[in-house]
Amino acid sequence: MPLKTQVKNTPAVRNINNPMTMILVGLLVISSFVIGSLYQKVKYLEKGSTPVDSANKQQAAQTADDQAQPAEEKVEMEKIKETFDKSLVKFGKADSKLILIEVADPSCPYCHVAAGKNSELNSQIGDRFKLISEGGTYVAPVIEMKKLVDQGKAAFAWLYTNGHGNGEMGTKALYCANEKGKFWQVHDLLMTNKGYNLLNETVKNDKSQAQALADFLSPAFKAGDMKNCLESGKYDDRLQTDSGLASSIGVQGTPGFFVNTSKFAGAYNFTDMKSAVDTALN
C-alpha cells in the first residue's frame, strides 16, 4: 500500500498566508523603492546639482534618458557653437576661443549657489559652498564667467531647463530683461535670497503674480514694462526651446555648465573649471 505524504500546516506555512505578514512584505517592497529614490537624490546633492523634474521632461524637444544611455557622449565643439547660436540669451560671438554655457533654473538652489549672489543659501547648504567673501573657499562660477565676458575673453550663453519646478516666471523675466540689455541686472536680483524665496514661495509659475515679480525687479527694470512683457505670453514657448537645447547637449540637471566641450554637471567651484578655461585661452 503506497505511503501518503501529508504536508503539515506548520506555523511557517500558516504565517505566509497571514494578512499581517502580507502587509509587512508590501511595506518592505515600498521601503526599498523609497530608499532607492533617496539614494539617487543624495547622489545629485553630492554633485551640487538638482535633477531635472521628470514630470517636465516632456518640455524638452530631445529628452535625455539616463537609464538608456549610461555612457555619456562627448559633445563636439561644433555642437557647442550651434547651441550658442540658437540661444536667446547670449553675449559675445560663436567664433570666440572660449564659449561658456550655463543651463539653469532661477528657482533651483544650486543655481543660486553657483550664481554667488545668495550668500545665505551658500552657507546654509554647507561649508563646501561657503563663499570666499564669507570666509569660505567657494568661488562662484557665474561671477567669474561674467568677468571673462566683460573682459572680451569669452562668449556666454544662458539656457533654461526645469530643475526645481518654480522657475518659469523668473526665466521669462530674464528673457524680457535680455531684450532691453538688462539681463545681468535682473539676473542678480533674482539670484538673491529674497529672489529665491519670492520665486519658490509666492510667484512660482503663476502668471497672475506678474505684478509682484515686476515690483521686486523694479530697481533694475521698469515695473510696468516687465509686467506687460510677462503677461503678454511672448516668451511662453521659449521655455520649451531652451529645454530642448539643453537636452541636446546632454544636460540632465541644474546647474549645468560647459567650458567649450568640457562639461561640469553641478555647482562646481570655479577653481575646478579654471584649467579648462586656461587651456581654451592659451
pLDDT tens by residue, 262-274:
999 999 999 999 9
- Cα 163 from Cα 49, distance rounded (Å): 9
Averaged pLDDT for residues 149-173: 98
As assigned by CATH, the class of the 52-281 domain is alpha beta
Spatial contact of 91 and 149, defined as CB atoms under 8 Å apart? yes
Contacts of 248 (CB under 8 A, 6+ apart): 61, 62, 79, 83
Instruction: Check residues 33 and 277 and name the one with the higher pLDDT.
Output: 277
Categorize the per-residue pLDDT at 54 as very low, low, confident or very high, splitting at 50, 70 and 90. Answer: very low
Could you write out the three-class secondary structure of the chain? CCCCCCCCCCHHHHHHCCHHHHHHHHHHHHHHHHHHHHHHHHHHHHHCCEECCHHHHHHCCCCCCCCCCCCCCCCCHHHHHHHHHHCCEEECCCCCCCEEEEEECCCCHHHHHHHCCCHHHHHHHCHHHCEHHHCCCECCHHHHHHHHHHCCCCEEEEEECCCCCCCHHHHHHHHHHHCCCCHHHHHHHHCCHHHHHHHHHHHCCCHHHHHHHHHHCCCCCCHHHHHHHHHHCCCCCHHHHHHHHHHHCCCCEECEEEECCEEEECCCCHHHHHHHHHHHHC
- How many residues comprise the chain? 282
C-alpha cell belonging to residue 201: 514661495
Going from N- to C-terminal start, the domains of the chain cover 1-47, 52-281
pLDDT tens track for 62-83: 323 332 233 456 899 999 999 9
Q: Is the peptide bond before 255 cis (omega within 30 degrees of 0)?
A: yes
For 197-218, what is each residue's pLDDT tens digit?
999 999 999 999 999 999 999 9
Tell me the pLDDT band of 232, cut-offs 50, 70 and 90. very high
Distance of CA 153 to the CA centre of its chain: 26
Q: Which of 266, 269, 233, 211 is nearest to 47 (CA)?
A: 266
Residues 184 and 190: their CA atoms lie apart, in Å, by 10
